[in-house]
Chain A
């Protein structure tokens, strides 16, 4: 059975204190891995797509990396505006032309001044 697990569930950081979020997955075949950011009362906002092990993507203070079993979202020198819930999702490789996304439960990040 395909599974996506995010850890930790919650993370409290001081402003400037770098940290990493983990997304581990067990799927029959990976087409892509996605990261989203979600603010309270809002829909998820797309951040990155990673397709193969070793790939990295960066956006401002965020950097996503991918291995064959997990992905990390590194937050470098976070600011209070980085506070949000970060979701990862995997797109499973299937015989269909379209692979459905399976989401993890998310990591809630709070950055205090």
Chain B
């Protein structure tokens, strides 16, 4: 069965600083990887996903993540964060053989300070 580990539960940064949120997974079969964001009192929203092809995927608001199969990682990065990026970020994985079942990590709270 797959598992997801988000290495940092909280990441505080200053506005306009770069940030990396780390995610590692374990699985014995091919996987698909997702990053979801949860703003306060809202549901989860898809930020970006890796299905196949280029290992670098980007979101419309400047985030990017790179699938690294050898290191079983899917870290999320942004070169310059804004106050509005403050939220909880969840990494999730689905397995090719397990349908659409998603396994989530425990989340990383990103707090952007002025």
Q: Do A and B share a complex?
A: no
